[in-house]
Amino acid sequence: MPEGKSQVGTASAPGQAAPAETPLRLAVTGMHCAACVRRVERLLTRVDGVRDVTVNLALEQADLTVRMPVRDRLPALLDALQAGGYQGEVLTESHPQRTSPAIGRDGIALVACALLTLPLLLPMALRPLGVPWMPSPGWQLALAVPVQFGFGARFYRGAWRDLRSGSAGMDVLVVIGTSAAFLLSMVNLWLAGPADATPDLYFESSATVITLVLLGKWLEGHARRSTGAAIAALQALRPQRAHRVVGMQEEDCAIDQLLPGDLVRVRAGEQVPADGAVLAGESSLDVSLLTGESQPVSCGPGSRLLAGSLNGDGVLLVNTLAVGSATRLAQIIRLVEGAQAAKPRVQQQVDQVTAWFVPAVLVLSLLTGLGWWLWLGAATPAVLRAVAVLVIACPCALGLATPTALLVGTGMAARRGILLRDADVLEQALQIDTVAFDKTGTLTAGRPAITQMLPSPGLTRENLLRKAAALQQGSPHPLAQAVVQQAALAGQLPPVADGAHTLPGIGVQGTVDGDVLCLGSARLCQGIAIPADLQAAAGQAAQDGASVAWLVMPAQQSPGRPGRVLGLFCFADPVRPEAAATVQGLQQLGLHVMMLTGDGAGAAGKVARETGIQDVQSGLLPDEKLSIIRGRQTAGHRVAMVGDGINDAPALVQADLGIAMGGGSDIATHAAGITLLRPDLRLVAEALPLAQRLRRRIRLNLAGAFCYNLVGIPLAAAGVLSPDLAGLAMALSSVTVMSSALLLR
C-alpha cells in the first residue's frame, strides 16, 4: 500500500503473532469531491480491524486491509458507509469494477434541469439583441423551485450528511451558495411593492449553478467511463465457459470449475480459458492486449499459453497450469488496478490541503459578504459576491486531477505491455539519470545461438550443419538445441545419428551416413591437424567470450585414415536486435547507460561494442552489482536497473527504479517497480518517458485545478464573476482536468 494513508489498528502483544489480514476492495457510490474522499477514509478507518485505507474518487472505490475473517468486518464497513450517506459493495474478480450507464439518471436530470433553466437565461441572451423579454416573477419562481429543491435535492442531502459527520465538502458550498441566491430573490419578491413590477430576482443564478454542477458531474462520469477502458478491455478477455476434455468426452463448464491439470480444447476464434501448455494442435494467437505484441504469435505442442489470448484458425488441446486468480491475466489486472487505485505523494498532500480548504472557503465567503455589505451598505450585491466565492471554490477538480491521469496513464501503459506496480514509480521515474542493464537475458536473448559456421575445405556449410544436427537430435543441451533450431531455420530435415551417445565432459558421438563423427570441445582435436583459418576463428571467438564446438571424424574410428576436422561452430548469446537502438534512445534522453554483468570481460565487451555502452563492469556477483548501484546513489545519482533473473533481484530492489524484463523470473518481477510484459528492450525506452510524462500531467492537472481557485476566488470576491459565471468556471475546471487526462492517449 502507498505511504500516507489512514491507519488504525492495535499492536500485538510481545511474542504474540499478529492477526491474519487480507486486502478488500469496495465500490463506493455517492462521492462528489476530494472532501468526500477524506470522509470515506475516516468512516472506514473507524471500523475495528481496518487499516491502510485508500479511496479513489475517479474509480469510486476503496482499497483497505481488514483483519480476518472478512465476513465479521464487512457488515460494519457497509453500515459505516451508509451512516455517512454512501453506499458500499464488495468488488471481487467475479464482480469486478462497475461502469456507469451511458446516460442514466444523471443525464435525464441534466436535460430536465437545462430545459427549466433555459427560460431564466433567455432574457440575458435577448437583451443585447434589443428584445426586452422577461418571464414574470411568478413564472421565474415556478421554474426555479423544481430545479432548486427537486433536482438540487441531492445537494441538500449531501450537505446534511457532511454537516452531520462534522465536515464540509462540495455539497455544502453548492447548497449555501444557491440557497442564498434563491432566498435573496424570495425576500426581494416578498418586499416588492405594487408599484415595483420587476423586483431584482436571481433565480437564474441558483438554477444555472445547479444545472452546471450537474453538467460537470455528468461529464466527469462520461470521462471516467473512458478512463476505465483499459481495465474493461482486460476484464473482457476473461471467457465465461471452457470445453473440458474428460476421457474421450468433451463437456462445457464454467471457468470457475476448471482446475490445474484439466485438459481443455480451444477452438478457432475462442479465448484461451487458463494458462497452460499446448499438447496437440497448431495455431496463431493474438496476445496484443496481454503483452502489447502487435503481431500474432505462432504456437504448437509445448508452447505456453496465457489466459485471455485469442486463438486463431487452429484447434488446440491445452493442459491447464494456472486458473482463475492465479493466471497471468488476473495478475495483470490486479497490477493495473493497484496502480490506478494508489495515491502518489502529491495526491496525499492535496488530500491534506482539502481538509481545511472548504472551511477556509466558507470563512472567506462570509468575509466577502460582510466586507461588501459594509462598503456598499447594500445586502444584495454582497450576497451575490459571497455566493460566487462559494460556487467557484468547489474542489471537484482537485479530487479528480490525480486519479483520472493515473487511470488513463496506467491503462495506456498496460496496452503497450508496460505494468506500473504503484504510483510511487512515477516519482522515481521523474528523477532517474542512470540506467543499468544486466547482460544475459536482458541485453541478450538469454539463450545461445550459432553465430558462425566454418567448414573445412571440401565441405559445404549446409552439409556441415546437417551432420551436426543429426548428432544433436533429441539432446536437451542448450547448444544442441541451437544447432537443431538452425537446421530447422535452414529448411533441413537431418537424419538421426545411429548409436548417438554422450562423451562425458567432451561432447557427443554417433554415426551419420556411415561415418563415425564427434561434436564437442577442442579435446576432440588432439593429434589432428586444424586448418589455420579455423584455428584463428576459434581464437577470436574465445576472446569474445563465445563457445566453440568442433565437428571431428576421429582417427581411431577410421582405420587407414587420419582423423579430420570437418568444421567448427561458434555459439554466443545474441544481442537483442533492438538493444542498440534502445541504448541510443536512452542516451539521447540524457541518461547515463551502464552494463553490470557476471560474465567475463570478453563477452561483456562484445555486447558493449554492439550496443554502444561505454560504461561496462563485468565478472560481478549479485552483491557486487548491488554495491555499484549503492555507490552511484551515494554520489547523488538516481538509478534504474533493468534485469530478468533471480540474481538481479537484489539490484532491482536497491535501485531507485527496478524494471523487470518480460519472460524473466517471478522474483525479478516482484522486486521491480515496472514489469515489461514481453522481452522487448524498446519498452524500456518507452516506459521511462511515459512514466515521466504521466507524472508531469498529474502536476499540470493539479496546477490547473489550483489556478482555477487562485484566480477565480479573488475575481468572484471582487464582483467580477457572477454566481452563474462562477458555476460555469467551476464546471469547466473539472472538465478541463478530465480532458487533460484523456489527452495522454
**pTM flag (> 0.75):** no
Residues 498 and 602 in one domain: no
Rg of the chain in Å (alpha carbons): 35
Catalytic one of 63, 438, 573, 680 = 438
User: What pLDDT is attached to residue 436?
Assistant: 94
| Residue 601 three-state SS | helix
User: What pLDDT is attached to residue 19?
Assistant: 55
100 within some domain: no
CATH number for the domain including 567? 3.40.1110.10
Is 308 within 8 Å of 285 (Cβ atoms)? no
Closest CA to 393 of 662, 172, 703: 172
Q: How many domains does the chain have?
A: 4
Closest CA to 564 of 574, 552, 573: 552
67 within some domain: yes
CATH number for the domain including 80? 3.30.70.100
Residues 543 and 437 in one domain: no
115 within some domain: no
Report the relative pairing of strands 50-56 and 263-266 from DSSP bridges: unpaired
CATH number for the domain including 616? 3.40.50.1000
Residues 656 and 585 in one domain: yes
Residues 566 and 658 in one domain: no
58 within some domain: yes
The C-alpha atoms of residue 524 and residue 538 are separated, in whole angstroms, by 14
106 as an active site residue: the answer is no
Amino acid at position 360, single letter: A
Identify the DSSP state of 433.
-
Residues 620 and 585 in one domain: yes
In 429-506, the DSSP E strands lie at 434-437, 449-455, 498-503
553 within some domain: yes
Please report where in the chains the cell 488530500 appears, as a residue.
Answer: 351
Residues 456 and 560 in one domain: yes
Contacts of 38 (CB under 8 A, 6+ apart): 167, 351, 354, 355
Residues 456 and 549 in one domain: yes
Last residue of a domain, one of 541, 572, 603: 572
Residues 568 and 464 in one domain: yes
The C-alpha atoms of residue 607 and residue 439 are separated, in whole angstroms, by 8
669 within some domain: yes
Last residue of a domain, one of 276, 298, 322: 322
Last residue of a domain, one of 54, 70, 90: 90
Is 98 within 8 Å of 232 (Cβ atoms)? no
Residues 594 and 663 in one domain: yes
Q: Where are the alpha helices (DSSP H) in 193-278?
A: 203-227, 229-236
Contacts of 400 (CB under 8 A, 6+ apart): 57, 58, 220, 701, 705, 734, 737, 738
CATH number for the domain including 311? 2.70.150.10
Q: Where are the alpha helices (DSSP H) in 46-136?
A: 70-83, 104-126
82 within some domain: yes
Q: What angle do CA 294, 296, 297 make, to 5 degrees?
A: 115
Residues 488 and 637 in one domain: no
The C-alpha atoms of residue 465 and residue 462 are separated, in whole angstroms, by 5
User: What pLDDT is attached to residue 174?
Assistant: 77
Report the relative pairing of strands 241-246 and 87-90 from DSSP bridges: unpaired
> Which residues form the domain of 468?
449-572
Residues 441 and 550 in one domain: no
DSSP of 8-61? ---PPPTTPPPPPEEEEEEEEE---SHHHHHHHHHHHHTSTTEEEEEEETTTTE
Residues 463 and 604 in one domain: no
Mean pLDDT (10-residue bins), the chain, 745 residues: 37 47 83 74 87 78 82 85 84 54 67 87 71 79 90 84 70 77 79 62 77 72 57 72 89 88 90 91 77 69 86 89 83 66 60 69 86 84 80 67 74 80 74 89 83 89 91 79 86 85 81 88 83 87 81 70 84 88 92 87 86 90 84 91 77 85 66 81 87 82 80 85 71 74 75
182 within some domain: no
